[in-house]
Amino acid sequence: MASIHSYNFAGKRALIRVDFNVPINKETLEVTDDTRIRAAAPTIKHIIDQGGSVVLMSHLGRPKDGYEQKFSMENIVDHVSKVIGTPVKFGGDCIGEGAYEMSKALKAGEVMILDNVRFYKEETAGDEAFAEKLSKHGDVYVNDAFGTAHRAHASTTVAAKFFPNDKLFGFLIEGEIESVDKVLNSAEKPVTAIVGGAKVSSKIVIIERLLDRVDNLIIGGGMAYTFVKASGGQIGNSLVEDDFLEMAKSIMEQAKAKGVNLVIPTDTIIADEFSNDANTQEVQIDAIPDGWMGLDVGPNTIDACREVIVNSKVILWNGPMGVFEMESFQKGTVSVANAIVDATSNGAFSLIGGGDSVAAINQFNLADEVSYVSTGGGAMLEYLEGKELPGIKAVRE
Ligand code: AMP
């Protein structure tokens, strides 16, 4: 496998699969959050600085059947151009004549973008003939779309096979892989994982895998109540998955057997309805009255989590501690975020990986104060589960 660090892009057209599936204002058609564009910029700049040219391809939204203006990449061309500091040409239909003429004529340092690859249903079907057509736009294939690396689509996976010796990862994917590997295979200890979020069922594979790799495992969010109930606690009307009580018990036993310090909340903030304006109380987590539900962790749990986190050398955070979207129930999640920031400033490596903890760290404006914030929700979860992501495999093999 080639490497972006050593590959000579001079005089080559790089076909880069980026993840520019960015939110767009429905009325003005302007980009409202350009995180994903900024994340791909280093790869694009590196290639044009070396004298290569760039053909960008991505999906945007979920078009139903063919072209729809609101999902056209044309809407984001100016924004991409601003972010990378280079004019970007719009190639139109990703396998249209015009696009081929444009990509063939690209000069060193020039950048163009193809229209939404999902205007063709062959994209999500992983159609080989379509992937081959896309491959004609480049001399070298660069995958820098971590957010879609878990999909075996034409542009994310199948296209790689048409570049047997000229396929590589961009800086973004490389960074994502390196940071997860740093956490999962860390020689430095203690390693702490904080797993929160709504449901234990969606995180079970990750939790079991982490038990072999971490010293501390903090459980938070809605899933904590399934653990509390499994231990015989009264959880009132809190979120629970009764089908997973046995699994929760098994996790507690496995943690004990493996010498993992499993931190389960001891106190909680309860509410009499699922609302920011609900009446609240602070109670022991195993003594929640009927009619009340736990929506955040309590102060003793916050202190216990902080103690573990600030003494960690490596930290993975996946999933919020409570309903952080509501101000009344965000203290637990804010406190974990702050503890991670403090540990990071003391030299720990911290990865915020997957879904809502990424949303939380961004909401609290702390993304720049942790080591790495993943850009791939579902992809990061699958990578943490130990699955081989098709987009990554295709470049590696
Ligand atoms: P996930 O996507 O599984 O990481 O779950 C994230 C969601 O879990 C967020 O929207 C939170 O509001 C929600 N959540 C966290 N704690 C609780 C709780 N105690 N009860 C209900 N929902 C929760």
CATH number at residue 375: 3.40.50.1260
Note the pLDDT tens digit of each residue in 361-377: 999 999 999 999 988 77
Any residues with CB less than 8 A from the CB of 353 and at least 6 apart, and which? 179, 180, 183, 316, 317, 318, 374, 380, 381, 384
396 falls within a domain: no
Domain tally, the chain: 2
Query: Which tokens sit at 333?
Result: 């999640």
* pLDDT on residue 300: 98
353 falls within a domain: yes
> Looking at 128, 145, 169, which one is the last position of a domain?
169
163 falls within a domain: yes
- Start-end of H helices in 74-143: 77-84, 97-104, 121-125, 128-135
Q: Looking only at Cα atoms, what is the longest distance across the chain?
A: 71
Using CA atoms, how far apart are residues 119 and 299, in angstroms rounded to an integer?
51
* pLDDT on residue 156: 98
Q: Is 36 marked active-site?
A: yes
* pLDDT on residue 165: 95
Give the rounded percent of residues in the chain with a pLDDT score beyond 70: 100
Say if residue 185 is in the same domain as residue 331.
Answer: yes
Say if residue 149 is in the same domain as residue 297.
Answer: no
Say if residue 281 is in the same domain as residue 141.
Answer: no
pLDDT band at 353 (very low <50, low <70, confident <90, very high): confident
Looking at 29-33, 199-203, 275-279, 351-355, which range is the least confident one? Answer: 351-355
98 falls within a domain: yes
Q: Report which protein residue has its CA nearest ligand 1's atom 21.
A: 222
Say if residue 120 is in the same domain as residue 181.
Answer: no
Query: Which tokens sit at 172?
Result: 């973004």
* pLDDT on residue 99: 98
* pLDDT on residue 274: 97
Q: What pTM, to 2 d.p., does this model score?
A: 0.88
Say if residue 250 is in the same domain as residue 314.
Answer: yes
Say if residue 131 is in the same domain as residue 190.
Answer: no
134 falls within a domain: yes
Task: State which of 218, 219, 238, 239 you would mutate to test the pocket of ligand 1, scoring each by most atoms of that ligand within 8 A of its C-beta.
Answer: 239
Say if residue 155 is in the same domain as residue 98.
Answer: yes
Question: 201 C-alpha to center of ligand 1: Å?
Answer: 13
Say if residue 305 is in the same domain as residue 357.
Answer: yes
Span 62-68, mean pLDDT? 94
pLDDT band at 381 (very low <50, low <70, confident <90, very high): confident
> Looking at 123, 141, 169, which one is the last position of a domain?
169
Write down the mean pLDDT value for the chain. Answer: 96
392 falls within a domain: no
> Looking at 169, 184, 205, which one is the last position of a domain?
169
Span 37-63, mean pLDDT? 97
Say if residue 146 is in the same domain as residue 211.
Answer: no
Say if residue 374 is in the same domain as residue 241.
Answer: yes
Residue 157 has pLDDT above 80, yes or no: yes
Residue 397 has pLDDT above 90, yes or no: no
Q: Is 199 marked active-site?
A: yes
Q: Which residues line ligand 1 (CB under 6 A)?
A: 197-199, 202, 221-222, 239, 294-295, 319-320, 322-323, 325, 355-356
Any residues with CB less than 8 A from the CB of 30 and at least 6 apart, and which? 24, 75, 79
Q: What residue numbers bound the domain in which 243 lies?
A: 176-384
* pLDDT on residue 377: 78
Q: Report which protein residue has its CA nearest ligand 1's atom 20.
A: 222
183 falls within a domain: yes
Say if residue 226 is in the same domain as residue 317.
Answer: yes
Per the listing, tokens 């904590």 go with 224
Say if residue 240 is in the same domain as residue 360.
Answer: yes
394 falls within a domain: no
Span 109-138, mean pLDDT? 98
Q: Report which protein residue has its CA nearest ligand 1's atom 17.
A: 222
Looking at 71-80, 148-157, 176-185, 234-243, which range is the least confident one? Answer: 176-185
β partners of residue 90 = 113
Note the pLDDT tens digit of each residue in 311-333: 999 999 999 999 999 999 999 99
Question: Of 89, 136, 161, 199, which residue is the catalytic one?
Answer: 199
